Amino acid sequence: MKNPPETMFETAFAEDTYKGLTSYPKYLLSKYIYDQKGDKLFQQIMDMPEYYLTQCEHNILEMNAAAIADEFNSENGFDLIELGAGDGKKTKLLLKELVERKSDFAYLPVDISQHVLDELEGSLKKDMPAVKVKVQQGTYFKTLEKLAEYNSRKKVILVLGSNIGNLLHKRAVEFLANIAAAMSDDDMLFMGFDQKKHPQKILDAYNDPAGITEAFNKNLLVRINAELGGNFNPDQFLHWETYDPETGTAKSFLVSKTAQKASIEKLRLEVQFEAWESIHTEISQKYDDAIVNWLADEAGLKVERSFSDRDDCFKNYIFRKK
């Protein structure tokens, strides 16, 4: 089937789904996992004992909240702009410290999911009414175009949870370079990076025995069915995780258990699968100090300081413009 005219696509989700499933090898973009159901599944993932990332970063922020607040604060106040805010559970550790200090700041959480932003805004108004909050729905890349507009005082750009790990190094450098371009000399980037570690610990984090991560990845197929008129049978796909300790890249796949076909009504598309053919759904990159410093240097940034958990499983780095 030839590429249809662009007018056929009612949403970016429709267009990206078409492109991914007509490519070879097939892929789907992980950002579309995060509808209302996907948000809830990810919150369950973050609470799993196997998903060490959340607890490690939580411990870093809890142990170092005062030192981090010292880095954030500015005489003229600052804007705290969080990319991929999610439910804000970890960020609230920093917000609490800043509120107790009576710091002059505004909190601007950004997320692709309006649902989680609404929940976050509601919980902050209830639990921390002193926080000036202004939510913004959108992708990282769209938001970066607007970051430079916040130039009347210091910006602290916050990216927790190793969200940068969803990008291969080339895209990660582009992402960091776009942030650098929007930064002034006084601005700061505070970003989490999951560290390289025992390969089995990484595999276990993305392939839990309860099947929550499997349901999370299969939510792409569920969403295609619900929004685009697909007829995928998620049970006919196997969730499979790989990790390459040399490159530090963990990859998630949905693998067709049998030769099958699926149709997507709104795309006027029929998708053929060979037995054991894969759909790549997500990457989760792991790092060490050398890689982080290289990424920063390529993007026009420099590492100023880092905070680590006790076992060096996870690190949060402070970057400034070179």
Percentage of the chain modeled with pLDDT above 70: 98
Greatest CA separation found in the chain?
A: 64
Least confident of 151-155, 258-262, 285-289: 151-155
pLDDT the model gives residue 2: 47
DSSP for 149-200, please give it. Answer: T--SSEEEEEE-TTGGGGS-HHHHHHHHHHHHHH--TT-EEEEEEEBP--HH
Compute the average pLDDT of residues 240-251.
96
pLDDT at 7: 54
Burial (Cβ within 10 Å: 0-12, 13-18, ≥19) of residue 220: buried
Q: Hey, where are the domains in the chain?
A: 6-33+213-285, 52-195+287-321
Decide: pTM greater than 0.85: yes
- Tell which residue, 295, 72, 320, has the closest CA to residue 175: 295
Report CA-CA distances (Å) from 186 to 73, 80, 106, 275. Answer: 11, 13, 16, 55
Given a cut of 60, is residue 5 above it in pLDDT?
Answer: no
Per-residue pLDDT reduced to its tens digit, 309-322? 999 999 999 999 99
Contacts of 215 (CB under 8 A, 6+ apart): 41
Q: Give the pLDDT band of residue 275 (cuts 50, 70, 90).
A: very high
Give me the pLDDT at residue 145, please.
74
- The pLDDT value recorded for residue 142 is 74
Q: Of 4-18, 76-90, 252-266, where does mean pLDDT reach its minimum?
A: 4-18
Average pLDDT over the chain reads 94
pLDDT digits (tens, 9 = 90+) for 160-198: 999 899 999 999 999 999 999 999 999 999 999 999 999
**Average pLDDT score over residue span 256-270:** 97
Helices (H) and strands (E) in the chain, counts: 10, 14
pLDDT at 4: 57
User: What is the percent of the chain with per-residue pLDDT over 90, rounded to a whole number?
Assistant: 86
Which residue has better confidence, 29 or 152?
A: 29
The H-assigned helical ranges of 79-168 are 91-100, 114-127, 140-147
Distance CA 210, CA 237 (A): 17
For 19, 85, 128, 168, 216, the CA distances from 43, given in Å and listed in that order, are 29, 12, 21, 24, 10
In the prediction, which pLDDT does 3 show? 54
pLDDT of 1 higher than 50? no
Residue pLDDT, tens place only, 40-56: 999 899 999 999 999 99
Say if domain 52-195+287-321 classifies as CATH 3.40.50.150.
yes
Angle, helices 212-228/36-46, rounded to nearest 10 degrees: 170
Where do the H-state alpha helices sit in the chain?
12-21, 36-46, 52-72, 91-100, 114-127, 140-147, 169-182, 199-205, 212-228, 289-299
